Amino acid sequence: MAKSPIVIIGSQRSEVGLSAGMDVLRNGGSALDAVEAAMRRCEDDVDDHYVGTGGLPNAAGVVELDAAVMIGSSRAFGGVGAVRGFPHPISIARRVLEQLPQHCLLVGEGAELFAAEQGFERAELLTDEAARLFRSSLSPANGIGEVPTTPENERYRATALDLVRRFAPHDGPWGTIDILALDAHGELVVGVSTSGFPWKYPGRVGDSALPGAGLYCDARFGAAACTGRGELTMRVTGARMVVDALAAGADPVESCRRMLVEASSVPDQFSSDVRAVCLTPDGRHGAAACKPGATYSVMTDGDAEPAVLQAAVL
Ligand code: ASP
């Protein structure tokens, strides 16, 4: 089999981890190992408030993480949703893929039980800074008081829903981290990891844990992943749409754009952006966003560090 170019790309802020992933690829490692190594770096970045340790909490002030991984040649998928207390959900998702082939997705307590049985380390994920951002969103200046902590409580539900309705990305780069890799054997893998929609209702699972919505990968056509308003990419199966467009012969940017056109046509009262990034089996890549300002990052064999590129705007 001819050697493929080795490439690793990712959504905004993935550059924290891409070099670690490229090291794996350069040493002849698999795209799966590369994605996991790169994503673990991102999950450990406490300054990143949308993934792993340091992620923003749900409406009850608890960090709940979603992550998934998909392999292009087999379309094997492993994911976890609403996991608390484990800092590396990407690794738990990989373990679901490898150790529970009869399942694709574990959520909540079951995912945590599986992670504990598999010996994954636990950690406190809510950092002081993330807690401060959460408290400031509750300030009376924003019209929201304290969130009562009993989920059964009527007022809790009302306040949590109010927070969810008011969500808007804070200033600066935000969103789920997507990482897509192509290894020398031509294997394509996509992984995503996120703390999800900040102030989400407890138990909410986003697109990042769902095949076809937040991520999709088929080694014949390409890998794709989404960022932003997960409920929209769930409703249009966004990542699958991008890969279908690649399969139909569209180029990477056009494939992302077609999905964004579809997602934008769905009635939705929340204004958060939707973004997509994709990688083809021959190493071409592209990204698009509904609003200006989004970037994505790319690293190839010859690069000393990731290049940060502008995503196309719808
Ligand atoms: N897609 C993520 C979710 O819906 C959020 C984001 O990327 O901002 O959970």
Q: Is the dihedral of CA 9, 10, 14, 17 positive or negative?
A: negative
Q: Report d(CA 50, CA 8) in Å as an integer.
A: 20
HSE-up of residue 278 (Cα within 13 Å, Cβ side): 38
Q: Is 101 exposed, middle or buried (0-12, 13-18, 19+ CB in 10 A)?
A: exposed
Is 206 a pocket residue for ligand 1 (Cβ < 6 Å)? yes
| Residue 86: per-residue pLDDT | 98
Q: Report d(CA 109, CA 98) in Å as an integer.
A: 20
Does residue 244 have a pLDDT over 70? yes
Is 273 a pocket residue for ligand 1 (Cβ < 6 Å)? no
Q: How many CB atoms lie within 10 A of CB 107?
A: 17
- φ, ψ at 189 (rounded to 5°): -140, 140
Q: Which atom of ligand 1 is nearest to the CA of 230?
A: 4
| Residue 198: per-residue pLDDT | 87
| Residue 149: per-residue pLDDT | 57
- Measured in residues, the chain has a length of 314
Q: How many CB atoms lie within 10 A of CB 20?
A: 17
Q: At what angle do helices 108-117 and 89-99 cross, to 10 degrees?
A: 80
Is 167 a pocket residue for ligand 1 (Cβ < 6 Å)? no
The letter for the amino acid at 285 is H
Q: What is the mean pLDDT of residues 201-227?
A: 97
Higher pLDDT, 11 or 59: 11
Nearest-CA residue for atom 9 of ligand 1: 196
Taking the centre of ligand 1 as the mean of its atom positions, its distance from the CA of residue 168, in whole angstroms, is: 12
Q: What is the mean pLDDT of residues 8-15?
A: 97
Is 199 a pocket residue for ligand 1 (Cβ < 6 Å)? no
Residue 246: both structure tokens together: 């690649």
Q: Report d(CA 129, CA 47) in Å as an integer.
A: 9
Nearest to 170 by CA among 55, 255, 282: 55
Higher pLDDT, 235 or 156: 235
Residue ranges with strand state E in 234-313 = 274-279, 285-289, 295-300, 307-310, 312-313
The letter for the amino acid at 289 is A
Q: Please, what is the average pLDDT of the chain? A: 92
Q: What is the mean pLDDT of residues 161-188?
A: 82
Taking the centre of ligand 1 as the mean of its atom positions, its distance from the CA of residue 28, in whole angstroms, is: 32
Q: Report d(CA 256, CA 251) in Å as an integer.
A: 9
The catalytic residue positions are 176
Tens of pLDDT along 73-101? 999 999 999 999 999 999 999 999 999 99
Percent residues over pLDDT 90 in the chain: 79
The DSSP call for residue 7 is: E
| Residue 167: per-residue pLDDT | 63
Cβ atoms of residues 125 and 53 within 8 Å:
yes
